[in-house]
Structure 1
Amino acid sequence: MTVPPPAAPSPPVPPRKPSLVNGATTHGLLGRRRIRHPWELPLLGVGVAATLLSYLAWGGAIAGAIWLYAAEGEAAVTKVWDYVSVLPLVVQLVFLLPLLPLIIWWVRAILYAQLRATSVRMSPTQFPEGYRMVAEAAARFGMRNVPDAYVTMGSGVVNAFASGHGFRRFVVVHSDLFEIGGQGRDRDALKFVIGHEVGHLAAGHVSYFRLLFSNMLSLIPLLGPAFSRSQEYTADNFGYSFAPEGSAGVMGLLSGGKYLNAEVNVHELADRAATDPSLFVHWVNWGSSHPITTWRAHALRDRSKPGALWIRPKGHLYDSPLPAGHRWSSQYPSPGEALALLDRASRIRPAGYGEQFGRFTGVPTPQRPTARAVQTATPLLSGRSGYVIPPGPYSDDARGPRAGAQASSFAPPAPPAPSAQQGPHGPGADGSGQSPSQPS
């Protein structure tokens, strides 16, 4: 009996293209809800309600003016405006609100055209490493299309953003961000940033209808910035799920800049989120569209917490030798005490951790430890507190356990076991001791 040859496997069915009813990802309109900050969707609902009420107020104002003019004449309408000084609001309601859908569409179209006309498009042949990160993030997040990606001149500004026009989606990376990528800098930090921006797209943050129906929320004090911060925390969750090993590098970048980022101890940065409970720090956060850096670093270090919006996070790993900024000045050290602390730290500082004046491309620093080792080292002159980061698993998709990973990506990487393939200097063919990235 002749056995028929096995049937050839059928080619994978590509996902349906984006439409008005299926969302930018294969996860549907709401996406993966557990990866979102818990405040995002409730605040979005408030924004939709505010926008609908604005349109109802617009319709009511127009209908009321027409009725009053028909019933009482022009003099009655003029008399109302004499008693109520709401002319700027009336102008906005009558002229701007009904044009808002067109204004949003037009601005996004111009932005996309400007980028296409002036920026470098990432592709398989142009900035292929960056484009690979975009494509891999799109695949990880279940996006139906790989978004367009552009590099634009940063002129010293370290930034990136995501937007769209129609069903098109795109990310833009300032050229200065590439100066922290590659072997000379911090490739994982760049990967985290790209994952963060593609995460904005995957979460639907740049959807035309989302922008249209949440636009009025940006005019509401406290709630508008809070909604923006919740979206940033969500995008950080996406970035962490894509490149957790880059989270410490990004916090170093956002606080120390693209040259001193390698010298920032992110544990000291994250600890100040809990040890500085000043009202004025809260005030700065309440008015900010992005989480303040110390709170953001704390949320990326302790993945059991989704990030704070109103009240500072609690719990710190290390105690600083200096008082928190909200303490009375009488607790600050005198010059002699400060110099004594410096001398103590110098005596216990490991070799290669001094000379903190930045690392520059092309300047060899063989005696220096890796940037990640400096960023995640135990702070000097600091005792342990009672705070412990739970090892997981956690409640959302971004914080699930990773095979072979540390409990926190801010923890120093564990040294790999020796093998026959390693050279005399340990891992890394150049003897640098740089450990490979852990699987995400």
Structure 2
Amino acid sequence: MISVNELRHPKEKLYRLICMVVGGLIWVGLLLGTVFSILFMLLPLALILWIAGRFFRATLFGNSVMVNEQQYAELNAIVQDVGQKLGLSRVPDTFVVNAGGLTNALAVKFLSTQYVLLFSSLVDLLWEDKNTDRVRMIVAHELAHHAAGHVNFWVGLLMKPAMFIPFLGAAYNRSCELTADRIAAACVPVNRDAAVTAMITLASGSQVLTPHTSVEAFKRQEQQIPMVFGFLQEILSSHPRMTKRILAIEKFYDTRSVQPVAAQAA
């Protein structure tokens, strides 16, 4: 079984601690000053989230395709295997969603109900009949968000006040993405090429061009980013740049002494 906490990115550990401490202190101050008003707000909030979750579930089950043993069995096997490796007591309900050509995947939670949404266009881009590691990388990334508690309602509620501090919330979200990338890479331990290719495919969005995309050339694009504006773009973003994510993934593989499949075969 993979130890999620050991794979947390150092930045997430730092920002998570800061957000929890700051958020907790703010909540303590609010509770001490207005106990009844806060409780009065939390009850309607819980009701609103429950209603939203029911509507979301109705929409999802009525308009998307649920992945299970009877539907997309091979994809379901990947989801279940990764969920087990990450120690999830209950693997989130997973759906293939027609998002009109958008290439993305999401980890979603409403109160206690967890979901993973795989946009169909992304699955089409990544799927290979003889090698499903590219799809596994993306599935593992979304399940990693659940396993690491990134979409946990109570943790999110505790940290919510800290999220309004300029740049802190975005920094925490970026660190969560790096953690999810590391956990996902650990779920694809001997196929570094597939893990990196999955991420580059998110950047290019092209099934035709993916086999011809140079990883080294893509990484060098990071050097062409203006320093000042690159910094500003980064601190305002909820996700790290894809160039940085791929560099971080490769560094993670290097530190774990994992070599590409082709190199092992040699």
Smaller-chain TM-score range? 0.7 to 0.9
In structure 2, what is the Cα distance between the partners aligned to 1:258 and 1:96? 46
Indicate how the Cα distance of structure 1 residues 32 and 190 shifts in structure 2: closer, same or farther if over 3 A, else same.
closer
Are residue 46 (structure 1) and residue 18 (structure 2) matched?
Answer: yes
C-alpha distance in 1, partners of 2:157/2:31? 17
The 5-angstrom pairing of residues 62-81 of structure 1 reads: 62=34
Match of 2:203 in 1: 255
| Count of residue correspondences | 262
Q: Which residue number in structure 1 is paired with residue 248 of structure 2?
A: 299
Pair member with larger Rg: 1
- Counterpart of 1:216 in structure 2 is 161
In structure 2, the partner of 1:159 is: 104
Q: How does 1:23-422 map to 2 (within 5 A)?
A: 32-59=4-31, 62=34, 99-183=44-128, 187-244=132-189, 245=191, 246-259=194-207, 260-274=209-223, 276=225, 278-303=227-252, 391=254, 394=255, 400-402=256-258, 406=259, 409=260, 413-414=262-263, 416=265
Instruction: Choose between structure 1 and 2: higher helix proportion.
Output: 2
SS in 2 for 1:151: strand
Kept in 1: contact 2:12–2:176 (CA 8 A): yes
**SS state at 1:413 partner:** helix
TM-align CA RMSD: 3.1
SS at match of 2:252: coil
Q: Secondary structure at the match of 1:155?
A: coil
Q: Which amino acid aligns with 1:42?
A: L
Aligned-partner Cα distance in 2 for 1:40–1:261: 30
Secondary structure in structure 2 of the residue aligned to 1:171? strand
Name the amino acid aligned to 1:201: H
In the alignment, residue 228 of structure 2 is paired with which amino acid?
A: L
Structure 2: distance between partners of 1:46 and 1:103: 28
Runs of 5+ consecutive residues of structure 1 not aligned to the other structure: 1-25, 64-91, 305-390, 395-399, 418-440
Task: Tell me how far apart the structure 1 counterparts of residues 26 and 227 of structure 2 sit (CA, whole Å).
Answer: 36
Distance 1:415 1:32, change over 3 A: closer
Shift of 1:170: 2.1
Are residues 102 and 53 of structure 1, via their aligned partners in 2, closer, same or farther at CA, if it must alter by over 3 Å? farther
Alpha-carbon separation, structure 2, partners of 1:288 and 1:185: 36
Q: Provide the C-alpha distance between the structure 2 equivalents of 1:236 and 1:227, rounded to a whole number of angstroms.
A: 14
Cα gap change, 1:212/1:100 in structure 2, threshold over 3 Å: closer, same or farther? Answer: farther
Assess if the C-alpha contact under 8 Å between 1:161 and 1:173 holds in 2.
Answer: yes
Structure 2 unaligned spans of 5+: none
**TM-score normalized with structure 2 length:** 0.84
Superposition deviation, residue 152 in structure 1: 0.9
| Matching residue of 1:69 | none
